Amino acid sequence: MHTDVNALFAALWQDYIQMTPSAAKIHQLLGHGAPIINDHIALRTFNIAKVNLSVLAKHFTSIGYVDSGDYKFEQKKLIAKHFEHPDPKQPKVFISELLVEEFSPELQKSIHGLIEQVDVAATTADNFIYSGRHWDLDKATYQSLLAESEYAAWVAALGYRANHFTVSINDLPQFERIEDVNQALKDAGFVLNASGGEIKGSPEVLLEQSSTMADKVMVKFTDGDAEIPSCFYEFARRYPMDNGQLYTGFVAASADKIFESTNAMM
């Protein structure tokens, strides 16, 4: 396990921009050369003991993160938690897991077959949460997973890595409103996730979010390469609670739509 939170996020970022080349360009576009504060990252997994949410969480709780919220996504058959660091300048971490037993016997068999290939020692290695895929996968299995769960197919194809990083709009020197960030992105040719509207959430729920649609990358399958959606970049503006502190949680209804940033565009 990493001991240094900054080193961990630097490694996650390097892996992420390999999968999400647009993120590095957006970073320059919005930051105007200034550092960008990362609001949170998200990780995806399956609720199978060897690799479940708590296995991923240990990589963060071991360096001071604490469990700060629980979420359920009925339609997507997921549960999630978010974790916060005592230093509020450090990114929050959102980890979700697919409830595998709620899917077809075929999907369950496929996923268990993939996870059986994971060396248990790999799950506690420093690099596990940015180590990618630990199993062989063919295109037909990917397609059959995709037909049932975009999330299952994403994890099967891309493994363990940040699904997205998130720009903290509150900390951007040049932008105040999420609408202006979205407009700058569109003007530069980036495609936003419009599921449920470009802006998810509202000042009333203390959080507004938007995101790009995922980049496409070439992924190796056992029977050749194929281009599939990889990762995306998210943008979050937080509002103060009654006590004057910024809200630090997540809004399940908004997160539900953010998940769709990795859908293949119709």
- Please list, in sequence order, all residues whose beta carbon lies within 8 angstroms of the beta carbon of residue 82, skipping any fewer than 6 positions away: 40, 68, 69, 71, 92, 93, 94, 95, 249, 250
Q: What percent of the chain has pLDDT over 90?
A: 87
Q: What percent of the chain has pLDDT over 70?
A: 98
Nearest-angstrom CA–CA distance, 51 and 27: 31
Work out the angle between the directed axes of helices 105-115 and 150-158 (0-180°, nearest 10): 20
More confident residue, 256 or 153: 153
Most confident segment among 195-199, 239-243, 262-266: 239-243
Taking alpha carbons only, the member of 159, 65, 144, 147 closest to residue 110 is 144
Mean of the pLDDT values across residues 128-134?
97
Structure confidence at residue 255 (pLDDT): 77
Report whether CATH 3.10.180.50 matches the domain 5-259. yes
Tens digit of each residue's pLDDT (9 = 90 or more) over 220-253:
999 999 999 999 999 999 999 999 999 999 887 7
Long-range contacts of the stretch 81-90 (C-beta < 8 A, 24+): 81/53, 81/57, 82/40, 82/249, 82/250, 83/57, 84/248, 85/5, 85/60, 87/5, 88/248, 89/37, 90/5, 90/9
Taking alpha carbons only, the member of 233, 252, 265, 226 closest to residue 76 is 252
Cα-Cα end-to-end distance for the chain: 40
Examine the pLDDT at 261 and tell me if it is beyond 80.
no
Band (pLDDT 50/70/90 cuts) for residue 32 is confident
Alpha helices in 20-65 (DSSP H): 21-31, 53-61
Taking alpha carbons only, the member of 174, 203, 180, 191 closest to residue 262 is 191
- pTM over cut 0.75: yes
Tens digit of each residue's pLDDT (9 = 90 or more) over 64-109:
999 999 999 999 999 999 999 999 999 999 999 999 999 999 999 9
Nearest-angstrom CA–CA distance, 155 and 45: 7
Nearest-angstrom CA–CA distance, 230 and 118: 21
What's the mean per-residue pLDDT of the chain? 94
